[in-house]
């Protein structure tokens, strides 16, 4: 199986034009369960230095940066200055301004509100030497490019703003004081994912926690377990290190099951056991999680794992073998408050998910438009929300560029490896509103194949665009997109009644033509409203317009026989530089059912009533 997957990935990489020499999509080190491992959280106050012209990275003509500009040097600038002499520096991170990490820099100071470029961050910390074991730095997310140095030595780079990466610092880490420097470049371009144009804010920075992790010399790098539709619990454990081969691996699922296996020459062990009769299935109504413990070679990793199945049968989505309707909403990664910093602490994430689960009576959330924090995913497991997960292949990327496809495949792989123990995740989406073309469909098809190779247990979808087509003398809404063939669940974004010329009264009578044998999700619909703006004439941007838009769109949705879920746009008003109406928007996309500070708009109640009725009708 491993060989098969490796070969398949190689084929995919070659198909992507990346060539047989390109590195594997699996990151070299995953450190599953890192949040629970021995180590040190490096959150707190870091100092920083702006570097708009990137002088700390390179000089003119791409030459090596001048030594007086190299922010990452392991150097006490003040001490050198005190000695006098010819040396001088044009930075000093020790005496720089401070910023709380994690968090996007846009909220840190007014000066950085729309800063889009390179900033250097530094944190000094005291550590113990790794001894006979190993030490790693694990970054949960740096948006968008990271250049990482420890004690003046480059230890790695990463591209992609929403996925974790792990760097081996066994040799670079000192017992005692250490100087960690991270260059963070938020700039996006035509070859980045996403490109520079989106409908959300920049949020450059070290946006998620950084952790120093210690492991034994031979350690459990990855450990995964899940329930299949055949009633069996399968999984694998990957060891790394000099004693990785031939090790006994033990897994305990709470007190209800135990299994052992032995690692092969590559340090990999697989499990395949019958689900014990006592196993309680995870579901939104009953989100049972088990303490799962993996042990091998003197190392141990624990996780909290739920067991459920997800499948499609005809036009139904089946959760644990039974049809389910996804009562959801879309959500950006942005906490409540007037100046969010995309800081998903547990209370911040909980406050958002609580509104979905208990305010809207939801059982589902679309985590748009990029992989959200691990904290959010773990909470979705805990409180019982099904999850749609996506990477930001959004609107348009450089479809014909093999290097860009390679980035997308790697980003998807990083996401899947991070989240495949999360019972909440049921759908991997491979794109959002990408205009149909041959190159784009090829790109998405490669992504869908990649997802299936990495995780055959979950469903694949994409948020597609719809079209109006004349059939006879009627205008009919259709999905005219060859990507449909690659998906388990069809999903469409529809904004009739907000964008375009349809009146709200026309919505329930709009004609749709959809495949009868495929489940459909309305992955987005929505309308802007400024909280507190009431208008007896129900004009656009009023709470009344938005509420009526929801009533009429729900009436339209009731006509769609294959509809199996929805995630209207969007839970909360979110920052977007595209939205500059001076009265209604001021930099906020106002399609939230809640204002930025959490005030419920009238439409919130419309959707909550609808979902309560649906939940009761089950």
Place of tokens 């992504």: 447
Out of 32, 195, 493, 575, the residue judged to bind ligand GCB by CB under 6 A: 493
Place of tokens 């399968």: 234
Q: Shortest distance, CB of residue 548 to ligand GCB, whole angstroms?
A: 18
Exposure of 294 in the CB half-sphere (CA atoms within 13 A): 31
Q: Write phi, then psi, for 184 (nearest 5 degrees).
A: -120, 120
Distance of alpha carbon 206 from alpha carbon 210, whole angstroms: 8
Comparison of 303 and 573: residue with beta carbon closer to ligand GCB: 573
Out of 199, 250, 264, 382, the residue judged to bind ligand GCB by CB under 6 A: 199
DSSP assignment of 389-422 equals EE---BS---TT-HHHHHHHHHHHHHHHHHHTT-
138: nearest Cα among 210, 194, 66, 79: 210
Q: Shortest distance, CB of residue 568 to ligand GCB, whole angstroms?
A: 11
**388: β partners:** 366, 427
Q: Does 92 bind ligand GCB (CB under 6 A)?
A: no
**382 three-class SS:** helix
Helix spans in 260-389 (H): 346-354, 374-383
Distance of alpha carbon 102 from alpha carbon 42, whole angstroms: 9
SS3 for 453-522, per residue?
Answer: HHCCCCEEEEEECCEEEEECCEEEEECCCHHHHHCCEEEEECCECCECCCCHHHHHHCEEECCCCCCEEE
Residues in contact with ligand GCB, total (CB under 6 A)? Answer: 9
Distance of alpha carbon 482 from alpha carbon 109, whole angstroms: 46
Q: Shortest distance, CB of residue 332 to ligand GCB, whole angstroms?
A: 8
Comparison of 188 and 268: residue with beta carbon closer to ligand GCB: 188
The overall longest dimension of the chain from CA atoms, in Å, is 87
Q: Shortest distance, CB of residue 521 to ligand GCB, whole angstroms?
A: 14
Residues 229-248 that bind ligand GCB (CB under 6 A): none
Rg (CA), the chain: 25
Q: Shortest distance, CB of residue 163 to ligand GCB, whole angstroms?
A: 19
Comparison of 159 and 199: residue with beta carbon closer to ligand GCB: 199
The secondary element (H helix, E strand) that includes residue 7 is helix 2-15
Comparison of 233 and 531: residue with beta carbon closer to ligand GCB: 531
Q: At CA 472, angle to CA 467 and CA 473, rounded to 5?
A: 85
Comparison of 32 and 542: residue with beta carbon closer to ligand GCB: 542
Comparison of 101 and 522: residue with beta carbon closer to ligand GCB: 522
Place of tokens 């098969």: 4
C-alpha torsion sign, points 105, 106, 112, 115: positive
Comparison of 168 and 433: residue with beta carbon closer to ligand GCB: 433
Distance of alpha carbon 206 from alpha carbon 180, whole angstroms: 13
Q: Shortest distance, CB of residue 445 to ligand GCB, whole angstroms?
A: 21
Q: Does 195 bind ligand GCB (CB under 6 A)?
A: no
Comparison of 333 and 524: residue with beta carbon closer to ligand GCB: 524
Q: Shortest distance, CB of residue 591 to ligand GCB, whole angstroms?
A: 5
Q: Shortest distance, CB of residue 204 to ligand GCB, whole angstroms?
A: 19
| Residue 34 · residue 138 · CB < 8 Å | yes
- Give the per-residue contact string, 449-488, with ligand GCB (x = CB under 6 A; - = no): ----------------------------------------
> CB nearest ligand GCB: which residue?
199
Comparison of 94 and 199: residue with beta carbon closer to ligand GCB: 199
Comparison of 139 and 588: residue with beta carbon closer to ligand GCB: 588
Please return the burial class of 471, using the count of CB atoms within 10 Å of its CB with bins 0-12, 13-18 and 19+.
Answer: exposed
* Backbone region of residue 398 per phi and psi (left: phi > 0; alpha: psi in -120 to 50; beta: other values): beta
Q: Shortest distance, CB of residue 330 to ligand GCB, whole angstroms?
A: 8
Q: Shortest distance, CB of residue 590 to ligand GCB, whole angstroms?
A: 9
For residue 617, what are the CA distances in angstroms to 6, 111, 322? 46, 52, 15
Please return the burial class of 253, using the count of CB atoms within 10 Å of its CB with bins 0-12, 13-18 and 19+.
Answer: buried
- Give the per-residue contact string, 349-388, with ligand GCB (x = CB under 6 A; - = no): --------------------x-------------------
Q: Shortest distance, CB of residue 567 to ligand GCB, whole angstroms?
A: 11
Comparison of 315 and 589: residue with beta carbon closer to ligand GCB: 589
Q: Shortest distance, CB of residue 493 to ligand GCB, whole angstroms?
A: 5
Q: Does 569 bind ligand GCB (CB under 6 A)?
A: yes
Place of tokens 């930025």: 596
In the structure encoding, which two tokens stand for residue 355, read together?
């509104």
Comparison of 27 and 194: residue with beta carbon closer to ligand GCB: 194
Q: Shortest distance, CB of residue 429 to ligand GCB, whole angstroms?
A: 11
Q: Shortest distance, CB of residue 566 to ligand GCB, whole angstroms?
A: 14
Comparison of 116 and 433: residue with beta carbon closer to ligand GCB: 433
Comparison of 332 and 407: residue with beta carbon closer to ligand GCB: 332
Comparison of 250 and 433: residue with beta carbon closer to ligand GCB: 433
Comparison of 217 and 593: residue with beta carbon closer to ligand GCB: 593
- Give the per-residue contact string, 578-617, with ligand GCB (x = CB under 6 A; - = no): -----------x-x--------------------------
- Give the per-residue contact string, 497-536, with ligand GCB (x = CB under 6 A; - = no): ---------------------------x------------
Q: Write phi, then psi, for 144 (nearest 5 degrees).
A: -120, -35
In the structure encoding, which two tokens stand for residue 386, read together?
């099904």
Residues 408-437 that bind ligand GCB (CB under 6 A): 432-433
Q: Shortest distance, CB of residue 58 to ligand GCB, whole angstroms?
A: 34
DSSP assignment of 521-587 equals EEEE----B-TT---TT--TBSHHHHHHHHHHHHHHHTT-TTEEEE--S-SB-EE-TT---TTTTTT
Task: Please name the residues in contact with 435: beta carbons below 8 A apart, sequence gap of 6 or more.
Answer: 395, 396, 465
- Give the per-residue contact string, 284-313, with ligand GCB (x = CB under 6 A; - = no): ------------------------------
Q: Shortest distance, CB of residue 589 to ligand GCB, whole angstroms?
A: 5
The secondary element (H helix, E strand) that includes residue 234 is strand 232-240
Chain residues that interact with ligand GCB, rule: CB under 6 A: 199, 369, 432-433, 493, 524, 569, 589, 591
């Amino acid at each position: 199986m491993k060989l098969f997957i490796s070969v398949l990935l190689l084929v995919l990489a070659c198909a992507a034009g990346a060539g047989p020499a390109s590195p594997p999509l699996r990151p070299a080190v995953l450190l599953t369960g890192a949040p629970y491992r021995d180590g040190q959280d490096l959150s707190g106050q870091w100092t920083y230095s702006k570097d708009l012209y990137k002088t700390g990275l390179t000089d003119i003509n791409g030459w090596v940066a001048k030594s007086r500009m190299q922010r990452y040097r392991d150097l006490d600038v003040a001490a050198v200055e005190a000695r006098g002499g010819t040396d001088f520096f044009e930075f000093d991170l020790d005496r720089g301004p401070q910023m709380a990490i994690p968090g996007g820099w846009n909220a840190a100071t007014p000066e950085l509100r729309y800063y889009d470029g390179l900033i250097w961050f530094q944190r000094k910390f005291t550590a113990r030497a790794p001894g006979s074991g190993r030490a790693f730095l694990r970054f949960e997310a740096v948006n968008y490019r990271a250049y990482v140095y420890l004690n003046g030595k480059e230890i790695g780079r990463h591209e992609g703003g929403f996925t974790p990466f792990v760097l081996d610092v066994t040799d670079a880490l000192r017992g005692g004081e250490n100087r960690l420097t991270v260059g963070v470049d938020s700039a996006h371009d035509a070859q980045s994912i996403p490109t520079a144009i989106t409908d959300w804010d920049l949020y450059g920075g070290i946006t998620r926690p950084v952790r120093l992790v210690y492991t034994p010399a031979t350690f459990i790098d990855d450990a995964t377990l899940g329930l299949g539709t055949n009633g069996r619990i399968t999984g694998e454990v990957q060891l790394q290190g000099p004693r990785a081969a031939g090790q006994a691996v033990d897994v305990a699922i709470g007190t209800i099951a135990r299994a052992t296996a032995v690692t092969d020459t590559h340090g990999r062990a697989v499990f395949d056991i019958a689900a014990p009769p006592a196993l309680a299935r995870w579901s939104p109504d009953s989100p049972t999680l088990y303490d799962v413990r993996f042990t091998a070679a003197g190392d141990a990793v624990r996780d909290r794992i739920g067991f459920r199945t997800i499948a499609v049968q005809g036009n139904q989505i089946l959760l644990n073998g039974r049809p389910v309707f996804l009562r959801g909403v879309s959500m950006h990664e942005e906490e409540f408050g007037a100046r969010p910093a995309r800081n998903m602490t547990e209370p911040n994430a909980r406050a958002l998910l609580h509104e979905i689960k208990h305010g809207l009576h939801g059982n589902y959330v679309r985590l748009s438009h990029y992989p959200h924090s691990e904290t959010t995913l773990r909470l979705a497991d805990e409180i019982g929300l099904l999850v749609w997960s996506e990477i930001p292949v959004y609107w348009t990327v450089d479809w014909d560029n093999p290097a860009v496809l390679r980035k997308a495949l790697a980003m998807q792989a990083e996401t899947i490896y991070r989240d495949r123990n999360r019972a909440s995740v049921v759908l991997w989406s491979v794109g959002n509103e990408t205009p149909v073309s041959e190159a784009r469909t090829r790109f998405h098809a490669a992504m869908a194949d990649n997802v299936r190779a990495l995780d055959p247990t979950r469903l694949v979808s994409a948020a597609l665009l719809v079209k109006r087509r004349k059939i006879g003398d009627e205008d009919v809404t259709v999905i005219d997109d060859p990507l449909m063939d690659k998906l388990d669940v069809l999903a469409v974004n529809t904004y009739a009644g907000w964008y375009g010329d349809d009146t709200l009264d026309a919505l329930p009578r709009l004609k749709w033509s959809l495949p009868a044998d495929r489940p459909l999700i309305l992955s987005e619909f929505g309308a802007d409203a400024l909280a507190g703006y009431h208008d007896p004439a129900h004009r656009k941007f009023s709470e009344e317009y938005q509420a009526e838009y929801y009533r009429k769109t729900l009436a339209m949705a009731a006509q769609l026989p294959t509809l199996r879920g929805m995630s209207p746009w969007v839970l909360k008003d979110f920052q977007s530089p595209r939205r500059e109406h001076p009265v209604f928007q001021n930099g906020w996309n106002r399609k939230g059912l809640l204002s930025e500070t959490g005030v419920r708009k009238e439409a919130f109640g419309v959707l909550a009533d609808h979902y309560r009725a649906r939940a009761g009708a089950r």
